[in-house]
Amino acid sequence: MTGFPGVRPRRLRRTAALRRLVEETRLAPAEMVLPLFVREGLTEPREVASLPGVLQHSRDSLRKAAAEAVRAGVGGLMLFGVPEHRDETGTGGTDPDGVLNAALRDVVAEVGDATVVMGDLCLDEFTSHGHCGVLAADGTVDNDATLARYAEMGLAQAAAGAHVLGLSGMMDGQVGAVRQALDQAGYPDVAVLAYAAKYASACYGPFRDAVESTLVGDRKSYQQDPPNLREALREVALDVAEGADLVMVKPALPYLDVIAAVRAAVTVPVAAYQVSGEYAMVEAAAANGWLDRDRVMLETLTSIRRAGAQVILTYWAVAAAHLLNRSA
């Protein structure tokens, strides 16, 4: 007995049908974005050792993976390029024939407007030093010189057909610089997704394997400091003021409180990135028989959605979409 005659909260949990009827948070494949890696020079895809099931794609296998994601109903694709050669200023990121821009053209030609094609707009995959921007003489990242490179990169990705540009470098003023360049060059309809609260997290290791990162040191001087929430909200407010169409919190699970605070603070769509370390930990535990992979997959994604993220970047996008489609 509950102590109150007739009060039984469990009634609405008694059957699967009742639970579905009163669900407060629902996942949908259309709200998920699949990160995809394309490596220059590959003729066949190869698995990333620290990301089981995640591949470095060839251009041909990338097109096939994009088409598969569309068939599953996934809402978007975020492309990351892995070049064969890198230099101090990341010129591969602005080369129209560079791996990422070529991949964007390939995927747009393959899927058209059937899903949202996004390009990662950052220099770290293309620089020999692995930082997200141009370095000054003293080895620090030169914010303003980097903005000029981001503007060039944004124009290259827009010309390649990207629907959304994912500004992930955490430079001050990056949204305004790229938005102005797009508008002046005749690309007013290309949207900007700002990685507005990208934390200097320990959860990025497998991603750096996927892009073969050359980083020495860390990015703590420009990525968000993990203890700070109010500072992240200031970053988000600045990006919205500069014209961000969507804002991102990254990582997701360790920062659910940040996602909720950002959702309460802005009216633009809020995205969250379930990053490589979050994915790899579950996959490793599941491989050892310690967790039910599918249940944990959907539970973690639901928690991110419940916290307020309308869009979720996840390496499980296609797998989760298949589970959700089967249960619909």
Q: Token pair for residue 147?
A: 């903005």
DSSP run (H or E) holding 140: none
Catalytic residue among 59, 250, 263, 305: 250
With both helix axes pointing from N to C terminus, report the angle between 317-327 and 59-72 in degrees, rounded to the nearest 10.
30
Is residue 285 within 8 Å of residue 259, measured between CB atoms? no
Is residue 209 within 8 Å of residue 216, measured between CB atoms? no
> 66: exposed, middle or buried (C-beta count within 10 Å: 0-12, 13-18, 19+)?
buried
Q: Name the amino acid, one letter, at 219.
A: R
Known catalytic residue at 64 = no
Which residue from 289, 225, 299, 285 is spatially nearest to 255, judged by alpha carbons?
A: 225
Quote the CA–CA distance of 32 and 48 in Å, as a whole number: 21
Known catalytic residue at 198 = yes
H helix runs in 39-171, sequence order: 59-72, 99-111, 143-160
Which residue from 130, 145, 118, 128 is spatially nearest to 87, judged by alpha carbons?
A: 128
Catalytic residue among 105, 129, 163, 198: 198
Positions annotated as catalytic residues are 198, 250
